[in-house]
Amino acid sequence: MTLMDAPPLMPTMPPAGLSMRCLRVLLSGRPLDCETFYQATGSMRLAAYVEVLHRLGWPILTDYQNRGASRNLAVYALDLEALAEVMALLNAHLGTQAESVQ
């Protein structure tokens, strides 16, 4: 039980670019780490793009995995409950747009 309800999930889409590529992977339900992001984009700045998404309201979880002696790696993923809510919002939005075109 909480004293206050959680604020409604209302994320904003990032501008085109690497923040958007990061979001596409996360929306697919796959986790993302800096090694995978670097292989796909050539960028070592995944944490910066995740921060952009956080500021835009995306509920991204961070898990730290130990990858050997003194080597920890951040792995990012969207909260699965939030992901379901985001997908419902997107479907509702797309359905509204489709109805206005008809």
Cα distance between residue 36 and residue 22, in whole Å:
11
pLDDT confidence of residue 24: 92
Q: Examine residue 2 and state whether it is found in any structural domain, yes or no.
A: no
Residues 48/14, Cβ–Cβ less than 8 Å: no
Domain range for 56 is 18-101
Residue 21 scores a pLDDT above 90: yes
Q: Is there a domain that residue 46 lies in?
A: yes
Report if residue 5 sits inside a domain: no
Question: Is residue 8 situated within a structural domain?
Answer: no
Model pTM score: 0.75
pLDDT in tens, 48-68: 999 999 999 999 999 998 877
Domain count, the chain: 1
43 contact partners, CB below 8 Å, separation of at least 6: 18, 37, 49
Per residue in 10-19, pLDDT (tens digit) is 788 899 899 9
Q: Is residue 39 part of a domain?
A: yes
In-domain check, residue 6: no
